[in-house]
Structure 1
Protein backbone atom coordinates (compact mmCIF):
# COMPACT_ATOMS: atom_id res chain seq x y z
CA UNK A 1 0.00 0.00 0.00
CA UNK A 2 2.92 2.33 0.70
CA UNK A 3 4.02 1.96 -2.90
CA UNK A 4 0.64 3.13 -4.14
CA UNK A 5 0.82 6.31 -2.06
CA UNK A 6 4.33 6.95 -3.25
CA UNK A 7 3.31 6.45 -6.90
CA UNK A 8 0.20 8.59 -6.39
CA UNK A 9 2.26 11.46 -4.94
CA UNK A 10 4.79 11.29 -7.79
CA UNK A 11 1.94 11.25 -10.32
CA UNK A 12 0.31 14.34 -8.72
CA UNK A 13 3.51 16.35 -8.79
CA UNK A 14 4.20 15.43 -12.39
CA UNK A 15 0.63 16.00 -13.55
CA UNK A 16 0.80 19.71 -12.69
CA UNK A 17 3.26 20.16 -15.52
CA UNK A 18 0.76 18.69 -17.99
CA UNK A 19 -1.85 21.26 -17.02
CA UNK A 20 0.33 24.27 -17.66
CA UNK A 21 -1.00 26.58 -20.31
CA UNK A 22 1.01 28.78 -22.58
CA UNK A 23 0.98 32.34 -21.30
CA UNK A 24 1.04 34.87 -24.16
CA UNK A 25 3.91 37.32 -24.19
CA UNK A 26 3.51 41.02 -23.46
CA UNK A 27 3.89 41.89 -27.14
CA UNK A 28 1.16 39.47 -28.17
CA UNK A 29 -1.20 40.85 -25.53
CA UNK A 30 -0.39 44.42 -26.59
CA UNK A 31 -1.01 43.67 -30.27
CA UNK A 32 -4.29 41.95 -29.46
CA UNK A 33 -5.43 44.93 -27.37
CA UNK A 34 -4.38 47.46 -30.02
CA UNK A 35 -6.35 45.58 -32.67
CA UNK A 36 -9.45 45.57 -30.49
CA UNK A 37 -9.46 49.38 -30.08
CA UNK A 38 -11.60 51.37 -32.51
CA UNK A 39 -9.31 54.30 -33.33
CA UNK A 40 -11.98 56.10 -35.39
CA UNK A 41 -14.18 56.89 -32.37
CA UNK A 42 -13.58 58.47 -29.00
CA UNK A 43 -15.10 57.58 -25.66
CA UNK A 44 -16.10 61.19 -24.96
CA UNK A 45 -16.40 63.93 -27.55
CA UNK A 46 -15.00 67.40 -26.98
CA UNK A 47 -17.32 69.60 -24.97
CA UNK A 48 -17.90 73.13 -23.81
CA UNK A 49 -18.95 74.11 -20.30
CA UNK A 50 -22.46 74.93 -21.61
CA UNK A 51 -22.88 71.31 -22.77
CA UNK A 52 -21.26 69.49 -19.83
CA UNK A 53 -24.48 69.31 -17.84
CA UNK A 54 -26.26 67.24 -20.53
CA UNK A 55 -26.35 63.53 -19.62
CA UNK A 56 -26.84 61.92 -23.05
CA UNK A 57 -23.62 61.43 -25.00
CA UNK A 58 -25.31 62.06 -28.37
CA UNK A 59 -27.08 65.21 -27.16
CA UNK A 60 -23.86 66.52 -25.56
CA UNK A 61 -22.05 65.98 -28.88
CA UNK A 62 -24.82 67.75 -30.83
CA UNK A 63 -24.81 70.62 -28.32
CA UNK A 64 -21.06 71.02 -28.78
CA UNK A 65 -21.33 71.17 -32.58
CA UNK A 66 -24.31 73.57 -32.45
CA UNK A 67 -22.68 75.96 -29.97
CA UNK A 68 -19.32 75.92 -31.78
CA UNK A 69 -20.98 76.53 -35.17
CA UNK A 70 -23.01 79.40 -33.69
CA UNK A 71 -19.88 80.98 -32.14
CA UNK A 72 -18.00 80.77 -35.45
CA UNK A 73 -20.95 82.27 -37.33
CA UNK A 74 -21.20 85.14 -34.85
CA UNK A 75 -17.48 85.91 -35.15
CA UNK A 76 -17.57 85.81 -38.96
CA UNK A 77 -20.85 87.71 -39.38
CA UNK A 78 -19.24 91.01 -38.38
CA UNK A 79 -16.51 90.64 -40.96
CA UNK A 80 -15.96 91.77 -44.51
CA UNK A 81 -15.89 88.18 -45.73
CA UNK A 82 -19.43 88.42 -47.07
CA UNK A 83 -18.63 91.73 -48.80
CA UNK A 84 -15.42 90.45 -50.38
CA UNK A 85 -17.10 87.27 -51.63
CA UNK A 86 -20.85 87.87 -51.98
CA UNK A 87 -21.42 84.48 -53.64
CA UNK A 88 -19.77 82.69 -50.75
CA UNK A 89 -22.67 81.76 -48.49
CA UNK A 90 -21.23 78.73 -46.68
CA UNK A 91 -17.68 77.91 -45.77
CA UNK A 92 -16.47 74.62 -44.40
CA UNK A 93 -14.09 75.02 -41.49
CA UNK A 94 -11.84 72.19 -40.38
CA UNK A 95 -11.64 72.37 -36.59
CA UNK A 96 -8.78 70.64 -34.77
CA UNK A 97 -8.92 70.30 -31.00
CA UNK A 98 -5.62 69.29 -29.44
CA UNK A 99 -5.17 67.34 -26.18
CA UNK A 100 -4.02 70.53 -24.42
CA UNK A 101 -7.46 72.10 -25.19
CA UNK A 102 -6.20 74.47 -27.90
CA UNK A 103 -8.09 74.81 -31.17
CA UNK A 104 -7.04 75.42 -34.75
CA UNK A 105 -9.33 76.50 -37.60
CA UNK A 106 -8.63 75.92 -41.28
CA UNK A 107 -10.96 76.76 -44.18
CA UNK A 108 -11.73 73.97 -46.63
CA UNK A 109 -12.28 74.80 -50.29
CA UNK A 110 -13.35 72.66 -53.23
CA UNK A 111 -10.32 71.43 -55.17
CA UNK A 112 -11.40 73.19 -58.36
CA UNK A 113 -12.08 76.49 -56.59
CA UNK A 114 -9.90 79.33 -57.88
CA UNK A 115 -12.44 82.09 -57.34
CA UNK A 116 -11.40 82.69 -53.73
CA UNK A 117 -8.21 84.11 -52.34
CA UNK A 118 -7.42 81.29 -49.93
CA UNK A 119 -4.67 83.20 -48.15
CA UNK A 120 -6.93 86.19 -47.51
CA UNK A 121 -9.82 84.04 -46.26
CA UNK A 122 -7.43 82.06 -44.07
CA UNK A 123 -6.00 85.26 -42.55
CA UNK A 124 -9.52 86.60 -41.88
CA UNK A 125 -10.45 83.35 -40.15
CA UNK A 126 -7.31 83.37 -38.02
CA UNK A 127 -7.91 86.99 -37.03
CA UNK A 128 -11.59 86.50 -36.14
CA UNK A 129 -11.63 83.03 -34.66
CA UNK A 130 -9.97 83.78 -31.34
CA UNK A 131 -11.11 84.03 -27.72
CA UNK A 132 -13.29 80.94 -27.64
CA UNK A 133 -14.52 79.54 -24.35
CA UNK A 134 -12.49 76.71 -22.84
CA UNK A 135 -12.99 73.45 -24.72
CA UNK A 136 -12.51 70.11 -23.01
CA UNK A 137 -10.68 67.80 -25.45
CA UNK A 138 -12.00 64.42 -26.53
CA UNK A 139 -11.21 61.44 -24.31
CA UNK A 140 -10.10 58.00 -25.46
CA UNK A 141 -9.54 55.41 -22.72
CA UNK A 142 -9.10 58.14 -20.12
CA UNK A 143 -6.50 60.10 -22.14
CA UNK A 144 -7.13 63.44 -23.91
CA UNK A 145 -6.71 63.00 -27.67
CA UNK A 146 -6.60 65.17 -30.79
CA UNK A 147 -9.85 65.36 -32.78
CA UNK A 148 -10.69 66.89 -36.13
CA UNK A 149 -14.00 67.57 -37.80
CA UNK A 150 -15.42 69.80 -40.51
CA UNK A 151 -18.20 72.26 -39.68
CA UNK A 152 -20.28 73.93 -42.38
CA UNK A 153 -20.56 77.60 -41.39
CA UNK A 154 -23.19 79.81 -42.99
CA UNK A 155 -21.95 83.33 -43.59
CA UNK A 156 -24.80 85.73 -42.98
CA UNK A 157 -25.06 88.96 -44.89
CA UNK A 158 -26.29 91.71 -42.62
CA UNK A 159 -27.92 94.67 -44.34
Structure 2
Protein backbone atom coordinates (compact mmCIF):
# COMPACT_ATOMS: atom_id res chain seq x y z
CA UNK A 1 0.00 0.00 0.00
CA UNK A 2 2.92 2.28 0.77
CA UNK A 3 4.20 1.84 -2.77
CA UNK A 4 0.76 2.75 -4.07
CA UNK A 5 0.83 6.09 -2.18
CA UNK A 6 4.35 6.76 -3.35
CA UNK A 7 3.25 6.08 -6.92
CA UNK A 8 0.25 8.48 -6.55
CA UNK A 9 2.48 11.22 -5.13
CA UNK A 10 4.92 10.73 -8.00
CA UNK A 11 2.08 10.96 -10.57
CA UNK A 12 0.61 14.00 -8.81
CA UNK A 13 3.83 16.00 -8.95
CA UNK A 14 4.53 15.04 -12.54
CA UNK A 15 1.02 15.87 -13.68
CA UNK A 16 1.41 19.53 -12.69
CA UNK A 17 3.26 20.14 -15.93
CA UNK A 18 0.02 19.49 -17.80
CA UNK A 19 -1.72 22.31 -15.93
CA UNK A 20 1.12 24.80 -16.20
CA UNK A 21 0.60 25.74 -19.87
CA UNK A 22 1.24 29.25 -21.07
CA UNK A 23 -1.88 31.21 -21.95
CA UNK A 24 -1.34 33.44 -24.99
CA UNK A 25 -1.79 37.15 -24.40
CA UNK A 26 -4.61 39.17 -25.92
CA UNK A 27 -2.21 40.83 -28.35
CA UNK A 28 -0.88 37.49 -29.58
CA UNK A 29 -4.39 36.17 -30.09
CA UNK A 30 -5.43 39.35 -31.88
CA UNK A 31 -2.40 39.24 -34.18
CA UNK A 32 -3.05 35.58 -34.98
CA UNK A 33 -6.71 36.32 -35.79
CA UNK A 34 -5.85 39.36 -37.92
CA UNK A 35 -3.38 37.30 -39.94
CA UNK A 36 -6.02 34.64 -40.58
CA UNK A 37 -8.50 37.15 -42.07
CA UNK A 38 -8.53 37.56 -45.86
CA UNK A 39 -8.78 41.35 -46.20
CA UNK A 40 -9.17 41.17 -49.99
CA UNK A 41 -12.62 39.56 -49.86
CA UNK A 42 -15.85 40.31 -48.05
CA UNK A 43 -18.31 37.83 -46.61
CA UNK A 44 -21.24 39.45 -48.43
CA UNK A 45 -21.01 41.80 -51.38
CA UNK A 46 -23.08 44.97 -51.59
CA UNK A 47 -26.60 44.27 -52.74
CA UNK A 48 -29.87 45.83 -53.79
CA UNK A 49 -33.34 44.59 -52.90
CA UNK A 50 -33.80 42.95 -56.32
CA UNK A 51 -30.77 40.71 -55.72
CA UNK A 52 -31.44 39.78 -52.08
CA UNK A 53 -33.36 36.61 -52.96
CA UNK A 54 -30.36 35.08 -54.76
CA UNK A 55 -28.52 32.65 -52.48
CA UNK A 56 -25.31 32.09 -54.47
CA UNK A 57 -22.63 34.64 -53.54
CA UNK A 58 -21.19 35.03 -57.06
CA UNK A 59 -24.61 35.28 -58.72
CA UNK A 60 -25.71 37.90 -56.17
CA UNK A 61 -22.55 39.90 -56.89
CA UNK A 62 -23.16 39.64 -60.64
CA UNK A 63 -26.79 40.70 -60.17
CA UNK A 64 -25.71 43.75 -58.17
CA UNK A 65 -23.19 44.81 -60.83
CA UNK A 66 -25.76 44.37 -63.61
CA UNK A 67 -28.47 46.32 -61.77
CA UNK A 68 -26.09 49.14 -60.84
CA UNK A 69 -24.65 49.37 -64.37
CA UNK A 70 -28.14 49.45 -65.83
CA UNK A 71 -29.21 52.23 -63.42
CA UNK A 72 -26.13 54.30 -64.26
CA UNK A 73 -26.70 53.82 -67.99
CA UNK A 74 -30.34 54.89 -67.65
CA UNK A 75 -29.38 58.03 -65.73
CA UNK A 76 -26.70 58.97 -68.25
CA UNK A 77 -28.65 58.08 -71.40
CA UNK A 78 -30.63 61.34 -71.30
CA UNK A 79 -27.55 63.47 -70.94
CA UNK A 80 -25.26 65.63 -72.97
CA UNK A 81 -22.22 63.36 -72.64
CA UNK A 82 -22.89 61.64 -75.94
CA UNK A 83 -23.47 65.04 -77.62
CA UNK A 84 -20.39 66.71 -76.12
CA UNK A 85 -18.13 63.72 -76.70
CA UNK A 86 -19.50 61.61 -79.59
CA UNK A 87 -16.33 59.48 -79.64
CA UNK A 88 -16.85 58.53 -75.99
CA UNK A 89 -18.91 55.33 -76.01
CA UNK A 90 -17.86 53.72 -72.73
CA UNK A 91 -16.74 55.26 -69.48
CA UNK A 92 -15.33 53.47 -66.48
CA UNK A 93 -16.90 54.59 -63.22
CA UNK A 94 -15.28 53.88 -59.87
CA UNK A 95 -18.11 53.13 -57.45
CA UNK A 96 -17.56 53.34 -53.70
CA UNK A 97 -20.18 51.90 -51.36
CA UNK A 98 -19.67 53.20 -47.83
CA UNK A 99 -20.72 51.33 -44.64
CA UNK A 100 -23.61 53.78 -44.15
CA UNK A 101 -25.01 52.72 -47.57
CA UNK A 102 -24.07 55.92 -49.39
CA UNK A 103 -22.54 55.86 -52.87
CA UNK A 104 -19.78 57.83 -54.51
CA UNK A 105 -19.03 57.83 -58.24
CA UNK A 106 -15.75 58.87 -59.88
CA UNK A 107 -15.07 58.62 -63.62
CA UNK A 108 -11.82 56.90 -64.48
CA UNK A 109 -9.86 58.27 -67.43
CA UNK A 110 -6.70 56.96 -69.06
CA UNK A 111 -3.58 58.70 -67.79
CA UNK A 112 -2.77 60.13 -71.23
CA UNK A 113 -6.32 61.36 -71.85
CA UNK A 114 -6.33 65.07 -72.68
CA UNK A 115 -9.13 64.88 -75.24
CA UNK A 116 -11.84 65.09 -72.56
CA UNK A 117 -12.72 67.84 -70.14
CA UNK A 118 -12.52 65.61 -67.10
CA UNK A 119 -13.88 68.25 -64.75
CA UNK A 120 -16.97 68.75 -66.93
CA UNK A 121 -17.61 65.01 -67.24
CA UNK A 122 -17.13 64.59 -63.50
CA UNK A 123 -19.65 67.34 -62.75
CA UNK A 124 -22.18 65.85 -65.18
CA UNK A 125 -21.80 62.44 -63.52
CA UNK A 126 -22.22 63.89 -60.03
CA UNK A 127 -25.32 65.80 -61.12
CA UNK A 128 -26.94 62.79 -62.81
CA UNK A 129 -25.94 59.95 -60.51
CA UNK A 130 -28.25 60.72 -57.59
CA UNK A 131 -31.37 59.13 -56.08
CA UNK A 132 -30.33 55.50 -56.28
CA UNK A 133 -32.39 52.82 -54.55
CA UNK A 134 -31.23 51.61 -51.14
CA UNK A 135 -27.99 49.68 -51.39
CA UNK A 136 -26.94 47.35 -48.62
CA UNK A 137 -23.18 47.70 -47.96
CA UNK A 138 -20.74 44.82 -48.05
CA UNK A 139 -20.37 42.77 -44.88
CA UNK A 140 -17.12 41.49 -43.38
CA UNK A 141 -17.45 39.40 -40.23
CA UNK A 142 -20.87 40.88 -39.48
CA UNK A 143 -19.73 44.51 -39.85
CA UNK A 144 -20.62 46.80 -42.80
CA UNK A 145 -17.46 47.80 -44.68
CA UNK A 146 -16.44 50.14 -47.50
CA UNK A 147 -16.04 48.55 -50.94
CA UNK A 148 -14.83 49.92 -54.26
CA UNK A 149 -15.08 48.58 -57.77
CA UNK A 150 -14.92 49.86 -61.33
CA UNK A 151 -17.88 49.42 -63.66
CA UNK A 152 -17.67 49.91 -67.42
CA UNK A 153 -20.73 51.96 -68.42
CA UNK A 154 -21.79 52.01 -72.06
CA UNK A 155 -23.01 55.47 -73.05
CA UNK A 156 -24.14 54.68 -76.58
CA UNK A 157 -26.38 51.74 -77.31
CA UNK A 158 -26.77 51.34 -81.05
SS in 2 for 1:50: helix
Shift of residue 32 of structure 1? 1.1
Point out where structure 1 has 5 or more consecutive residues left out of the alignment: none
Equivalent residue number for residue 33 of structure 1: 33
Equivalent residue number for residue 150 of structure 1: 150
SS in 1 for 2:11: helix
Within 5 Å, which residues of 2 pair with 1:54-93? Answer: 54-93=54-93
- Of 51-60 and 73-82, the range deviating more from structure 2: 51-60
Q: What is the CA RMSD across the aligned residues, in angstroms? A: 1.4
Once residues 78 and 18 of structure 1 are traced to their aligned partners in structure 2, the CA distance between those partners, rounded to angstroms, is 77
Note closer, same or farther for the CA distance 1:8–1:157 as it changes in structure 2 (3 Å cut).
Answer: closer
Shift of residue 157 of structure 1? 6.3
Check conservation: 1:48, 1:134, Cα contact below 8 A: yes
TM (norm. structure 2) is: 0.93
Equivalent residue number for residue 48 of structure 2: 48
Point out where structure 2 has 5 or more consecutive residues left out of the alignment: none
Count how many residue pairs are aligned between Structure 1 and Structure 2: 157
Equivalent residue number for residue 126 of structure 1: 126
Shift of residue 85 of structure 1? 0.7
Once residues 57 and 42 of structure 1 are traced to their aligned partners in structure 2, the CA distance between those partners, rounded to angstroms, is 10
TM (norm. structure 1) is: 0.93
**1:95-133 CA distances to partner (integer Å, 9 max, x unpaired)?**
000000000000000000011111111100000000000
- Of 28-37 and 146-155, the range deviating more from structure 2: 28-37
Once residues 56 and 142 of structure 2 are traced to their aligned partners in structure 1, the CA distance between those partners, rounded to angstroms, is 18
